[in-house]
């Protein structure tokens, strides 16, 4: 590590060497893959995982060149830049066409109506029967719901920095990171657990449901609710 930092210092005035850039890209490639996996579950119709990872790597390289030698704060800075780069491209390609968004609204309304009629959270079998969709289609709907909330949350984070992610300084990113940490502190223990499992440990809704002994629908609701609560906290700041 000391040797790496020495090399950083030698190349600081002339820009990063190709060797150091490549080494750092390799070190943070798992971060790119994790973000691409999270976003790819509901956007594979317009962009495959490999393309997402390539765009994410470009975002990572741009973050590296703007940030300088990685330290404890670089991962958070890079994460938002990588996610922002992929989301920008997905939005450009209209990753959720109008017909898909309309279907989502229809399913969401039907699910709410079923919950009200039963007076409780419906079981998955009841949901599939009421909505008349397959288990696979239902899981895709849940993933899309989470992704939509996440995209909205990411947009708010961009607004907090008051600059496009590619122009944001490390200092501004640190302030945003601290604000997000404070927002996480507003969540209850189960909400924090869901957020941690989904975004930090890259667990699927199905895996989280098994760990917490909940339905996937309930995990999705907790995830969305937690992000909404964090967004409300950040908007008050």
**Phi and psi of 126, rounded to 5°?**
-65, -40
**Residue in 60, 2, 73 with CA at minimum distance from that of residue 27:** 60
The confidence score (pLDDT) of residue 6 equals 34
pLDDT (tens digit per residue) in 176-218: 777 778 888 889 999 999 988 877 676 778 888 899 998 888 8
The mean pLDDT of the chain is: 76
**Phi and psi of 44, rounded to 5°?**
-65, -20
* DSSP H or E run through 65: helix 49-67
> Number of C-alpha atoms within 13 angstroms, CB side, residue 84?
23
pLDDT (tens digit per residue) in 61-81: 888 888 777 777 788 778 878
The confidence score (pLDDT) of residue 1 equals 35
Q: How confident is the model at residue 11 (pLDDT cuts 50, 70, 90)?
A: very low
Given a cut of 70, whether residue 158 has pLDDT beyond it is no
Q: How far is it, in rounded angstroms, from Cα 217 to Cα 214?
A: 8
- End-to-end CA gap in the chain: 38
Mean pLDDT confidence for 21-41: 84
Q: How confident is the model at residue 13 (pLDDT cuts 50, 70, 90)?
A: very low
**Residue in 168, 175, 190, 10 with CA at minimum distance from that of residue 85:** 168
Q: Which domains does the chain have, with CATH numbers?
A: 2-92 (1.10.1740.10), 135-236 (1.20.140.160)
Q: How confident is the model at residue 100 (pLDDT cuts 50, 70, 90)?
A: low
The confidence score (pLDDT) of residue 117 equals 92
Q: How confident is the model at residue 24 (pLDDT cuts 50, 70, 90)?
A: confident
The confidence score (pLDDT) of residue 212 equals 92
The confidence score (pLDDT) of residue 211 equals 92
**Residue in 208, 211, 200 with CA at minimum distance from that of residue 35:** 200
Residue 103 CB coordination number (10 Å): 16
Eight-state DSSP code of residue 97? -
Which residues fall within 8 angstroms of residue 82, CB to CB, at 6 or more apart? 31, 32, 35, 56, 59, 60, 63
Among 76-90, 118-132, 137-151, the range scoring the smallest mean pLDDT is: 137-151
Apex CA 97: angle with CA 96 and CA 100, to 5°? 80
158 vs 20, residue with greater confidence? 20
Q: Tell me how far CA of residue 231 lies from CA of 25, 96, 149, 184, in angstroms.
A: 31, 22, 10, 10
7 vs 178, residue with greater confidence? 178
> Number of C-alpha atoms within 13 angstroms, CB side, residue 109?
6
Produce one character per residue of 149-176: b if its CB has 16 or more CB atoms within 10 Å, e if not.
Answer: bbbebbeebbebbeeebeebebebbeeb
Q: How confident is the model at residue 101 (pLDDT cuts 50, 70, 90)?
A: low
136 vs 210, residue with greater confidence? 210
Given a cut of 90, whether residue 235 has pLDDT beyond it is no
Q: How far is it, in rounded angstroms, from Cα 188 to Cα 224?
A: 14
Residue 6 CB coordination number (10 Å): 10
């Amino acid at each position: 590590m000391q040797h790496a930092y020495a090399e950083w210092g030698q190349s600081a005035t002339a820009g990063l060497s190709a060797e150091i850039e490549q080494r750092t890209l390799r070190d943070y490639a798992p971060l790119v893959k994790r973000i691409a996996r999270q976003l790819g579950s509901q956007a594979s119709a317009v962009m495959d995982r490999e393309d997402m990872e390539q765009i994410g790597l470009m975002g990572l390289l741009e973050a590296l060149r703007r940030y300088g030698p990685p330290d404890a704060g670089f991962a958070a800075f890079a994460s938002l830049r990588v996610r922002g780069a992929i989301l920008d491209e997905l939005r450009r390609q209209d990753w959720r066409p109008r017909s898909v968004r309309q279907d989502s609204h229809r399913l969401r309304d039907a699910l709410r109506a079923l919950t009200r009629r039963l007076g409780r959270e419906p079981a998955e079998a009841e949901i599939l029967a009421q909505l008349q969709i397959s288990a696979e289609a239902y899981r895709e709907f849940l993933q899309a719901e989470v992704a939509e909330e996440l995209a909205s949350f990411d947009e708010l984070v961009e607004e907090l920095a008051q600059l496009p992610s590619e122009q944001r300084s490390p200092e501004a990113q640190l302030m945003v990171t601290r604000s997000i940490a404070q927002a996480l502190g507003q969540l209850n223990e189960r909400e924090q657990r869901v957020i941690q499992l989904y975004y930090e440990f890259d667990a699927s809704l199905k895996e989280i449901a098994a760990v917490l002994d909940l339905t996937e629908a309930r995990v999705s609701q907790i995830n969305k609710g937690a992000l909404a609560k964090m967004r409300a906290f950040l908007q008050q700041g």
